[in-house]
Amino acid sequence: MDGEWHTYGPDGREVLVRRRGELWLVRCGQSDAHSKNLEVALTQAIRADADVVGHAQMVGHANWIRIAADTIDDGPS
Protein backbone atom coordinates (compact mmCIF):
# COMPACT_ATOMS: atom_id res chain seq x y z
CA MET A 1 0.00 0.00 0.00
CA ASP A 2 1.36 3.42 -0.96
CA GLY A 3 1.53 6.12 1.67
CA GLU A 4 3.48 8.98 3.17
CA TRP A 5 4.73 9.65 6.70
CA HIS A 6 6.44 12.66 8.22
CA THR A 7 8.48 12.60 11.40
CA TYR A 8 11.63 13.95 13.01
CA GLY A 9 14.80 12.02 13.80
CA PRO A 10 16.27 11.82 17.29
CA ASP A 11 18.39 14.91 16.59
CA GLY A 12 15.44 16.93 15.24
CA ARG A 13 16.12 16.54 11.53
CA GLU A 14 13.00 16.22 9.38
CA VAL A 15 12.37 12.76 7.91
CA LEU A 16 9.87 12.10 5.12
CA VAL A 17 9.01 8.50 4.24
CA ARG A 18 7.05 7.48 1.16
CA ARG A 19 5.92 4.05 0.08
CA ARG A 20 5.61 3.41 -3.65
CA GLY A 21 4.70 -0.21 -4.31
CA GLU A 22 7.50 -2.33 -2.88
CA LEU A 23 9.92 0.61 -2.63
CA TRP A 24 10.50 2.86 0.40
CA LEU A 25 11.68 6.39 -0.41
CA VAL A 26 13.21 8.32 2.49
CA ARG A 27 14.32 11.95 2.62
CA CYS A 28 16.29 13.25 5.58
CA GLY A 29 17.38 16.86 5.31
CA GLN A 30 19.20 17.09 1.97
CA SER A 31 19.64 13.35 1.45
CA ASP A 32 17.45 10.78 -0.27
CA ALA A 33 17.57 7.00 -0.15
CA HIS A 34 15.42 4.16 -1.41
CA SER A 35 15.20 0.46 -0.72
CA LYS A 36 12.73 -2.40 -0.54
CA ASN A 37 13.67 -2.52 3.17
CA LEU A 38 12.45 0.45 5.23
CA GLU A 39 15.22 0.21 7.85
CA VAL A 40 17.87 0.23 5.12
CA ALA A 41 16.36 3.32 3.44
CA LEU A 42 16.05 5.14 6.79
CA THR A 43 19.64 4.30 7.73
CA GLN A 44 21.05 5.38 4.37
CA ALA A 45 19.19 8.70 4.31
CA ILE A 46 19.98 9.60 7.91
CA ARG A 47 23.66 8.69 7.63
CA ALA A 48 24.06 10.46 4.28
CA ASP A 49 22.51 13.66 5.65
CA ALA A 50 24.69 13.44 8.74
CA ASP A 51 27.72 13.41 6.42
CA VAL A 52 26.37 16.36 4.42
CA VAL A 53 25.65 18.61 7.38
CA GLY A 54 28.54 17.46 9.53
CA HIS A 55 26.70 15.67 12.32
CA ALA A 56 29.13 13.39 14.10
CA GLN A 57 26.72 11.79 16.57
CA MET A 58 24.77 8.76 15.39
CA VAL A 59 24.19 7.58 18.95
CA GLY A 60 20.64 6.39 19.41
CA HIS A 61 19.87 6.39 15.70
CA ALA A 62 19.87 2.60 15.28
CA ASN A 63 17.24 2.13 17.98
CA TRP A 64 15.18 5.07 16.65
CA ILE A 65 15.33 3.61 13.11
CA ARG A 66 14.04 0.21 14.31
CA ILE A 67 11.19 1.81 16.26
CA ALA A 68 10.27 4.20 13.43
CA ALA A 69 10.33 1.40 10.85
CA ASP A 70 8.09 -0.78 13.02
CA THR A 71 5.68 2.10 13.64
CA ILE A 72 5.47 3.14 9.98
CA ASP A 73 5.31 -0.38 8.57
CA ASP A 74 2.63 -1.48 11.07
CA GLY A 75 0.67 1.78 10.91
CA PRO A 76 -2.70 2.33 9.29
CA SER A 77 -2.90 1.58 5.58
Q: Is 6:22 a contact under the CB 8 Å cutoff?
A: no
| CA–CA separation, 59 and 50 (whole Å) | 12
- Least Cα distance to 42 among 75, 2, 9 occurs for 9
Provide the 3-class DSSP secondary structure of residue 47. Answer: helix
Cα gap 58→22, rounded to integer Å: 27
Tally of structural domains, the chain: 1
Specify the pTM.
Answer: 0.77
Q: Which is more confident, 33 or 64?
A: 33
Domain that residue 64 falls in: 3-74
Strands in 23-28's sheet, in edge-to-edge order, are: 3-8, 14-20, 23-28, 31-35
Contacts of 44 (CB under 8 A, 6+ apart): 26, 31, 33, 35
Question: Residue 58 has what pLDDT?
Answer: 55
Say what the pLDDT of residue 30 is. 87
pLDDT 10s digits, 11-61: 788 999 999 999 999 999 889 999 999 999 999 998 887 655 444 455 567
- Label residue 65 by pLDDT band (50, 70, 90): confident
